Structure formats: structure tokens, C-alpha cells
Amino acid sequence: MDIASKSSKAPKSSKAPKSEGTKSPSTKSSKATTTTPTTAPTVSDIRLKHNIAFIGKSSSGIPTYTFNYREGMNLSNNYVLDTKSTFVGAMAQDLLELAPDAVIMNPEDGYYRVDYSKIDVDFYKL
């Protein structure tokens, strides 16, 4: 089910798709890892996260957080979350109002994903 059909739309970013290893200018961290760029939507549902801490907002007003993924969550295609690492990114539920065209719900597991190429926040592992 595509959430992009909701009424409010945020301005689209003209930036190229982001990799998990890039840092957003609005995020102050001295550590980041470099990984292979991905254009696939990233699992970003608040129900899959814990140890959530607000760290700021992007230039377009999107809240940014650090968080860990919860253990034992059942995702489609037997996808396994990295529950040992801390990540920086957005919450899909925030984006339902702020940038609905960036949010996708997987109908197989019911969890939201975010297409980070459509927002001005980068997702990365600390």
C-alpha cells in the first residue's frame, strides 16, 4: 500500500539518493560508516525502534533521531534488522504528515519504510 496518496506533500529534494554512510548537515556526529549506496526504502517504522533520542531537525523541518532496532521483529522476506548498532534517521510516522511521498507501507508485514532519496535526512549507522 503506497502512502504517497495522502493530501499534504513536502518539497522534493533534488539531491541524489543517499548512502547509509553519508551524514546530513543537520546531524552533528563525528562517526559514520561508509556502505554501499542503496535506493531501496529503509525500514523506518517507530514500532521497530527503541532507545529513540531526538537530535534535531533537517532544513525542511523533518525531526531526526538516533535509535536502535528492536530484537525479534518479524519482517517480510525474513529480513533481519541490525539490533546491535545505533542509527541516525527519521521516523516514518513523522513523515506521514511531513513528506508522505517518501513513505511506503509493506503490505506483507504492515511496517513503514522510508525512501530517503525523497527527503533531506540521511540514514546511517554510527
Give the integer Cα–Cα distance in Å for 115 and 38.
10
Q: What is the pLDDT of residue 98?
A: 97
**Closest to 115 measured CA to CA, from 32, 10, 7, 28:** 10
Distance CA(62)–CA(91), nearest Å, equals 9
Checking if the pLDDT of 16 tops 80, the result is: no
- 49 vs 81: CA distance, rounded Å: 10
The pLDDT of residue 77: 84
Closest CA to 44 of 4, 91, 6: 91
Instruction: Tell me the Ramachandran region of residue 58: left when phi exceeds 0, alpha when psi lies from -120 to 50, beta otherwise.
Output: beta
More confident of the two residues 93 and 27: 93
Cβ-based neighbour number of residue 35 at 10 Å = 12
* pTM given for the model: 0.68
pLDDT, tens digit, 9 for 90 and up, residues 58-116: 999 999 999 999 999 889 888 899 999 999 999 999 999 999 999 999 999 999 999 99
